[in-house]
Amino acid sequence: MIDPAQQSPAGPVQPAIPAAKNRFGDALIYRFLARRALWKSFDTVWLQSHGPLPEPADGPLILYLNHSAWWDGYLMYVIHRVVLQGRFDSHLLMEEKQLRAYRFFRWSGAFSINRHDPADVQRSQQYAANLLRERRNRAIFIFPQGRIVPNDQRPLITYPGIARIVALAGDVTLCPVALRYEFLGQQWPHAFIRIGPFHRIADPADMRATRAAITQRLTAAVDGLRDDVVAQRMNRFRPLLRGRRGIDKTWDTLRGMFRRAG
């Protein structure tokens, strides 16, 4: 159980590096860092949605994602700005070592956690819960695996921290997000996002049950996305972002033009 005395108002409880939201800075990072890198490195970013997308009225919101690649952070920007269309005031739990190296991510709502310092972990979890309790249209992205793990490694293991944030925050909506990357026989890889369905926890104070539910739902989402991508059921996805064309597609287009001209 969570001690109600720990549920103090937002303000005095802060991690080593708190968020410093800046709408202009967030837009710059997306446009000139994340979006540009995705355009240069991927053929297409695809979306598969299960159930309705979360709305601010459904919040506050925790999106929990599998973590299999460095690119996952950039896809979070796509989810925040393209999928959810910026309707949520989004934040991100980020390793303190990484955030110290790239402090500008604070503009996008990143705040630190030091998993090697139990006291800092508690402060970061309380800070996250306070953010969620302050505003209904607030969202936090969390990687409950805690580190980059091969996408098909099973069992999928989650840390208990996300369950503690839910217990501290109380009435929140949760949403599983699965991410995957495949080449599909082409020059440039494709990125895949599967989101939803969102859900609520019957008893937020039961952290063991919360963690089990999150682990089960995230595993199901990651497995379902894998199965659809491997079977190339592209009719179950819609394109979100187009990248640059590979030489394979460019050459196929030219050959088609020459055939028609002949």
Average confidence (pLDDT) over 210-215: 98
Report the pLDDT value the prediction gives residue 1, as an integer from 0 to 100: 43
Q: Which two tokens stand for residue 94?
A: 């980020």
The share of the chain scoring above pLDDT 90, in percent, equals 86
Average confidence (pLDDT) over 8-16: 70
124, 164 contact by CB (below 8 A): no
Q: Give the number of other CB atoms < 10 A from CB of residue 211.
A: 19
79 Cβ neighbours under 8 A, 6+ residues apart: 63, 141, 177, 193, 195
Q: Using the predicted structure, report yes or no on whether residue 3 has a pLDDT greater than 60.
A: no
The share of the chain scoring above pLDDT 70, in percent, equals 89
pLDDT band, residue 257 (cuts 50/70/90): low
Q: In terms of residue numbers, what domain contains 67? A: 4-261
Q: Using the predicted structure, report yes or no on whether residue 8 has a pLDDT greater than 80.
A: no
Angle 61-96-37 (CA atoms, 0-180°, nearest 5)? 75
Total domains, the chain? 1
Closest alpha carbon to 234 in 44, 30, 62: 44
Which 3 state secondary structure label does DSSP give 59? coil
**143-152 pLDDT per residue, tens:** 999 999 999 9
Q: Which of 8-17, 97-106, 120-129, 185-194 has the lowest mean pLDDT?
A: 8-17
Q: Using the predicted structure, report yes or no on whether residue 192 has a pLDDT greater than 50.
A: yes
Q: Indicate which CATH number applies to the domain containing 257.
A: 3.40.1130
Which 3 state secondary structure label does DSSP give 3? coil
Beta bridge partners of residue 195, listed in sequence order:
49, 177
Q: Using the predicted structure, report yes or no on whether residue 31 has a pLDDT greater than 60.
A: yes
**60-101 pLDDT per residue, tens:** 999 999 999 999 999 999 999 999 999 999 999 999 999 999
Report the pLDDT value the prediction gives residue 262, as an integer from 0 to 100: 59
Average confidence (pLDDT) over 219-239: 98
Residues 183 and 67: their CA atoms lie apart, in Å, by: 18
Average confidence (pLDDT) over 168-178: 97
Closest alpha carbon to 60 in 131, 165, 163: 131
Rounded to the nearest integer, the mean pLDDT of the chain is 92
